[in-house]
Structure 1
Amino acid sequence: MPPSCDRGIDRAPSPEPDRHDLIVRLPEWRPREPAHRLVPALSVLGDGVAGFRFEMSVYSSGAWSPWLAGATVGRGSFPAAATRSDTLACEVDEFIASAPAERVRLILRVNPAAPDAPLAAPWFVSLSAWSPTAPPGQVPGSGVRLAVPPLSQMEEDAAIRNRICSPSSVAMVLAYYGAPIAVADLAREIFQPELDLYGVWPAAVRAAGRRGVAGYLLRFPDWSTAAWCLEQGMPIIASVRYGPGELTDAAIAETSGHLLVLTGYEGDDVLVNDPAAPRADAVARRYRLEELRRVWLARTGVGYVLFAPVRSGNRPSSAL
């Protein structure tokens, strides 16, 4: 975790039964600054969870919001729950507060793969919170290059190739960590049929965990935070959005939402594996740092950070 974003690790409470599900009531959390946008994620190493969803309530303007539910990831027939109120709304994988949240309550609802051993595998929950602001200017550095194998989504089945930037990016990073998987296989696993989406962020983190690669979702506040991850040997799967002419030599001319892999930086350039390139030999690219800051950090700023965990026991924890 980048030091500028690290809030430490709290031990998670034990799961408790709730009808046919298990729930984990995570400790109440306060962001450094009141935040409008919140993105939770669950990372489980192995197949310990068949499905899950997050439920959230926030404290702002002197009152707690109603509890709202995020999208279900994987298999789970959970109780019906609201996704929108006057003070808080969930947009698939992101909770958005109308007034900045001063405190956060979070529940993890789980459909365990093995009811007799719920959440037995190592796992953690992360939560990234922020309010939209302009990111600081670039921070110079000596540079780094990570050897992430290139994969093109455009070489996949024509029926889905334009929709699988997230599975393609995750497959590249899994191959980097020595856990290669065919893009088509990963796309089938990540696909959320109820939403008709391949790009649900927590589903990507879950799929990586099933292959022994941990991960979390992070809203990157600035370029130096991203550079820190790259310097630690961790590629970043970045969520970008741009119009025509905003990203020079981009693999696609414009997009309302696209995932690509940051693999390093050199001087004023960011090294990228862009899965929207037409062929694998065209995936590795250089984008201008100033332009990438605009189309990534100044917009969503969200990235998947996947990493090879250091195993020091199997105790569950929540990193909030």
Structure 2
Amino acid sequence: MNRPTSRRTVLTAALAVAAGAGTAASAGSAAAAPSLAPPRRPSAAASLVDNHSWRSYTDWRSGSGAGTRAVAGRRPGLVIGTPQGRTDYTDPHTGKTAAWEYATWTSPRHRSSVPATEVIASWNADTPAGTWIQIELCGRYSDDTETPWYVMGRWAAGDGDIRRTSVDDQTDGRSSIWTDTFSVDDAASGLRLVSYRLRLSLYRTPGSRLTPTVWRLGAMASDIPDRFTVEPSTPGLARELPVPRYSQNVHAGQYPEYDNGGEAWCSPTSSQMIIEYWGRRPTAEDLAWVKPGLADPQVCHAARFTYDYQYEGCGNWPFNAAYAATYDGMSAVVTRLGSLTDVETLIRAGIPVITSQSFRKEELTGAGYGTSGHLMTVIGFTADGDVIANDPASPSDEAVRRIYQRHEWENIWLRTKRYDANGKVRSGTGGVCYIYWPADPAPSQRRALRSLGLL
């Protein structure tokens, strides 16, 4: 198995995408009618993934709090009650030191149904100006020893108080944190993470009554076997969702302080498409900072507010999900799915999926480029079962809609190993995706999400 550093290269937001990606498939046809076939059970590969979250009033009361308070209501959450204390934080990206009041909450121990080689946390929260949060993970290995507390992210919706950041150089010699992913260093040794706790630290300006509100905290644990190819799934749905189309390449050279500009913005561009599909978008006031006259300024906004100052990119998976959840009434997670059958389950319920993949030019017919890591949005399936994708690596918004061959798509998305253009073995994501949906989903959406362990 490749070192996890190679796995993290797929987060490089399409830096390897060729300039002026190839001509898109015809983008004119209307959405096909939904299939009337009953939903199928998720593929057996889904058993390689354990999703767990804390999000109800009972969940928040079940943890161990120090200065936090659970709040009930339509969307229960966790807030600062009486701060536990005060601490200084020196932002490594600005050099600024400031004092913060803080409170903490530690989850009960969750025993994963999958002894895991990787864990990715995600969260949904509101952090008004003057507040921010930190997310940590401590796990127990299969030999009954424990990891240290690893920082999985220091996050704020804005960037005026701290710079949101991952934390490098975290390891105990047996596992490591690679940007946003906990990874066992040597999976072949048989060592696995069998359980974990998550810890939230909530910060605010001293003496204020401000507080972050965390609505959802969870993680996806997985043990995906090394594979260059996967068994193809059988098509079972013809439907296309009306997802807005945005091109990252329209923004080439814009705001280079955020990962060198739009040519690297596949992740926030994909996120923005889905956010707007659900009827949310930034306000004119939110966009006032964007230079006048730029096309699709909301894509620039998404890039700025998903940017990880340590990773120096907009492709931090949980940061994208957290950004989506800053919009009113939205939930978001990072997970892995087992096949396109699982994606069909979501599309049938009206939920598009953002997938992460890497490939050589010849491995995805019609793409016209190769990439070490790229995010696209699956918006539906043709009558033949091929994938309809909004591919942000397109020359214009109109060219974003593409049709890709099902078996090619499924393979480049689900594999964990691949060969690059020089014949060297590199890593793949093993089915990583972002899923965004309304916090109060329709019954059909609730059933689909529950069937995949997300509710």
Residue in 2 aligned with 1:259? 375
Q: Which amino acid aligns with 1:127?
A: A
Distance 1:273 1:47 in 2: 32
**Local SS of the residue matching 1:214:** strand
Q: Counterpart of 2:387?
A: 270
> Does residue 116 of the first structure (1) align with residue 209 of the second (2)?
yes
Q: 1:96 aligns with which of 183, 195, 209?
A: 183
CA–CA distance in structure 1, aligned partners of residues 164 and 277 of structure 2: 35
**AA of the residue aligned to 2:149:** W
Amino acid at match of 2:177: C
* Distance 1:191-1:147 versus aligned 2 partners, 3 A rule: same
Q: Which residue of 2 aligns with 1:286?
A: 403
1:39 matched to 2:120? The reply is yes
Structure 2: 5+ residue stretches without partners: 1-40, 67-83, 88-101, 157-161, 186-190, 283-297, 416-427, 442-453
1:164 aligned to which of 257, 262, 265? 265
Question: Which of 229, 237, 261 in structure 1 is aligned with 2:346?
Answer: 229
Tell me the SS of whatever aligns to 2:365. coil
CA positional deviation for 1:126: 2.2
Asked if residue 68 in structure 1 is aligned to residue 159 in structure 2, the reply is no
Pick from 39, 52, 59: which aligns with 2:141?
59
Matched AA of 2:387: V
Instruction: Pick closer, same or farther for the CA change 1:18–1:31 going to 2, 3 Å.
Output: farther
Among 273, 276, 281, the alignment partner of 1:180 is 281
Q: Distance in 2 between matches of 1:177 and 1:93?
A: 26
1:28 and 2:109 correspond: yes
Shift of the 289–45 alpha-carbon distance from structure 1 to 2, 3 Å rule, reads: farther
Identity %: 24
Assess, with a 3 A threshold, how the Cα gap between structure 1 residues 77 and 151 changes in structure 2: closer, same or farther.
closer
Provide the residue aligned with 1:314 in structure 2: none
**1:240 touches 1:258 (CA, 8 Å); kept in 2?**
yes
Q: Give the whole-Å Cα distance in 1 for the aligned partners of 2:396 and 2:232.
A: 33
| Partner Cα distance (2:143, 2:152) in 1 | 22
Asked if structure 1 preserves the Cα contact closer than 8 Å seen for 2:50 and 2:114, the reply is no
Matched, 1:207 2:207: no
Give the CA deviation at 1:225. 1.6
Correspondent of 1:130 among 188, 211, 222: 222
Q: Tell me how far 1:145 sits from its aligned partner.
A: 0.9
Structure 2 letter corresponding to 1:150: R
User: Deviation digits for residues 172-212 of structure 1, max 9, x if unmatched?
Assistant: 11110111341011211111223311111111112111112
Deviation at residue 113 of structure 1 after TM alignment: 7.9
Distance between the aligned counterparts of 2:222 and 2:398, measured in 1? Answer: 37
Cα separation, partners in 2 of 1:172 and 1:76, compared to 1, 3 Å:
closer
When normalised by structure 1's length, the TM-score is 0.86
**Pair 1:308-2:438 in alignment:** yes
The 8 Å contact of residues 50 and 76 in structure 1, kept in 2 or not, is answered as no
Distance 1:162 1:155, change over 3 A: same
CA distance in structure 1 between the partners assigned to 2:390 and 2:403 by the alignment? 9
Residue 183 of structure 1 aligns to a residue whose secondary structure is helix
Q: 1:183 to 1:76 in 2, by over 3 A?
A: closer
Query: Are the equivalent residues in 2 in contact too, given 1:34–1:102 (CA < 8 A)?
Result: yes
C-alpha distance 23-46 of structure 1, shift in aligned 2 (>3 A): closer
Cα distance in structure 1, aligned partners of 2:192 and 2:323: 31
Cα distance in 1, alignment partners of residues 168 and 198 from structure 2: 14
- SS class of match (2:345): helix
Confirm or deny: 8 A CA contact 1:165 1:275 kept in the other structure.
yes
2:109·2:195 contact (CA, 8 Å) conserved in 1? yes
1:277, 1:8 → 2: CA distance? 35
| 1-structure distance, mates of 2:394, 2:325 | 27
In 2, distance between residues paired with 1:18 and 1:228? 46
Secondary structure at 2:372 match in 1:
strand
Partners of 2:280 and 2:314 in 1: how far apart? Answer: 20
CA contact (8 A) 2:52 2:218 kept: no
Q: Decide which moves more: 57-66 or 237-246.
A: 57-66
Distance (Å, rounded) in 1 between the aligned partners of 2:268 and 2:163: 21
Moved more, 100-109 or 54-63: 54-63
| Equivalent residues of 1:45, 1:214 under 8 A apart | no
* Contact residue 392 and residue 400 of structure 2 kept, 8 A: yes
Query: Could you say what secondary structure the match of 1:173 adopts?
Result: helix
Structure 1 runs of 4+ with >6 Å offset? none
- Give the superposed CA RMSD: 2.8
Choose the corresponding residue for 1:144, options 217, 239, 242: 239
TM-score by length of 2: 0.62
Deviates more, 1:89-98 or 1:219-228: 219-228
Cα distance in structure 1, aligned partners of 2:164 and 2:250: 35
User: How many residues are treated as equivalent by the alignment?
Assistant: 309
Structure with higher Rg: it is: 2
> Take 1:228 and 1:184, find their aligned partners in 2: how far apart are those partners?
31
Q: CA deviation at 1:45?
A: 5.4
Post-superposition Cα deviations, 1:195-242, rounded to whole Å, max 9, x if no partner, equal 311111111112111112210011112222221111111111111111
The 10-residue stretch of structure 1 (198-207 or 40-49) with the greater mean CA deviation from structure 2: 40-49
